[in-house]
Amino acid sequence: MAFDKSVYELAENEIKSRRFSAENRVRFRTEEVERKIPEIAEINRQLAHTSVELSKLILQKTGNFRESFDKIKDQNIQGQEMIAKLLIKGGYPEDYLAPVYTCPVCCDKGYYDGHRCSCFDKLLNRFAVEKLNAEANMPNCDFGHFSLSYYQGKTDSNGTDCYQKMSENLDYCKGYAEKFSRNSPSLFLLGKTGVGKTHISLSIAKEVTEHGFTAAYGSILNYLRIIEKEHFGRAEDSSADTMQVLINTDLLILDDLGSEFQTGFYESALYNIINSRINLGLPTIISSNLSVPELQKRYNDRVISRIFGVYTMLMFVGEDVRQIKRLRGEI
């Protein structure tokens, strides 16, 4: 999977920062225990000397190399064992001077056994998603600022109590965000313009990212425009692969289904994203202002069947909150 250069740079800098922090912590701790336990300082000096001797031995490769190597190795092991005992005696854990890396597999190097470590891949995905989110320019929303007061005393055309229905939706989505995992169900939010679909979606994204997951959120139209530019070689960075970023993020939120142009490329790209994430078992949240009949008329059967057959549908009801706020003089 390809990422643009800026994403690689961010990931590499983060890996370097993690390793520096881990090794810097060891330096501080070593200085601390050497002041309190002088015997450890002396052993460390001896170990540093044996390291120099080992380097000379490797360069010279004399006839008794194996014997000398094993001797130095044994001295190092004995020295480390003595330090562990002195640490315990001094009230420290025996591994107090061992570096604690964020990734124990690659020791914060980013590569393991000649291959890119999974921790580096996670960073690449995280920064790629953050870059997309920054470019999407979506508003910051959270559950605390979602007010049910705009739905009180209102019913929809079917006689549904808007306050009760939206209260149920809010509770469901709060629970969804709180218990989110990569195995969470996909959601399809349907309702007229301005009834809270985007606010709720972005509130889920905010909480999910606070729990350490990646969540890409943006309008379907903007995403498809970016993918189209990359596909036809018109993107500023030819190494970017937005399609794969969207397919692999922990949670994908596609806002405003039906706002995009009806072209063969867009429909194919949209199906690829939806179908690929279903096959990977990854959750997606899609919102739309269109009714079910409008969606069935606009999209072919393979798109509709994947959404209606797999996604959990939530109906959003009420009047346009933005209009209500204007009438109340709140905006």
Question: What average pLDDT score do residues 206-227 get?
Answer: 93
Q: Is 46 or 195 the better-scoring residue by pLDDT?
A: 195
Cα atoms in the 13 Å half-sphere on the side-chain side of 72: 19
Q: What is the pLDDT of residues 270-283, one digit of tens each?
A: 999 999 999 999 99
CA angle 168, 171, 177 (to 5 degrees): 140
Q: How far apart are CA 69 and CA 67, in angstroms?
A: 5
Residue 246 has what pLDDT?
95
Residue 330 has what pLDDT?
72
Of 66-70, 146-150, 168-172, which gets the smallest average pLDDT?
66-70
Show Cβ contacts of residue 20 under 8 Å, excluding neighbours closer than 6 positions: none
Residue 12 has pLDDT above 80, yes or no: yes
Residue 153 has pLDDT above 70, yes or no: yes
Q: How far apart are CA 260 and CA 243, in angstroms?
A: 16
The Cβ of residue 43 has, within 10 Å, a number of other Cβ atoms equal to 19
Q: How far apart are CA 137 and CA 154, in angstroms?
A: 32
Residue 138 has pLDDT above 80, yes or no: no
Show Cβ contacts of residue 251 under 8 Å, excluding neighbours closer than 6 positions: 180, 184, 204, 205, 208, 213, 214, 215, 216, 282, 283, 284, 285
pTM: 0.81
CA angle 210, 214, 220 (to 5 degrees): 120
User: Residue 111: pLDDT band by 50, 70, 90 thresholds?
Assistant: very high
Question: 261 and 216 in contact (C-beta within 8 Å)?
Answer: no
Q: What is the pLDDT of residues 55-95, one digit of tens each?
A: 666 666 655 666 667 777 788 888 889 999 999 999 999 99
Cα atoms in the 13 Å half-sphere on the side-chain side of 325: 11
Of 30-34, 290-294, 299-303, 324-328, which gets the smallest average pLDDT?
324-328
Q: Are strands 111-112 and 115-116 parallel, antiparallel or unpaired?
A: antiparallel
Tell me the C-alpha to C-alpha distance, in Å, between residue 324 and each of 96, 190, 316, 318, 330.
61, 20, 16, 11, 9
Question: What average pLDDT score do residues 108-121 get?
Answer: 93
Instruction: Assign domain 137-328 to a CATH class.
Output: alpha beta
Residue 97 has pLDDT above 80, yes or no: yes
Mean pLDDT, the chain, rounded, equals 89
Question: What average pLDDT score do residues 98-126 get?
Answer: 93
- Packing angle between helix 220-231 and helix 118-136, nearest 10 degrees? 120
Residue 304 has what pLDDT?
93
| Domain spans in the chain, listed from the N-terminal domain onward | 5-118, 137-328
Q: What is the pLDDT of residues 280-321, one digit of tens each?
A: 999 999 999 999 999 999 999 999 999 999 999 999 999 988
User: Residue 184: pLDDT band by 50, 70, 90 thresholds?
Assistant: very high
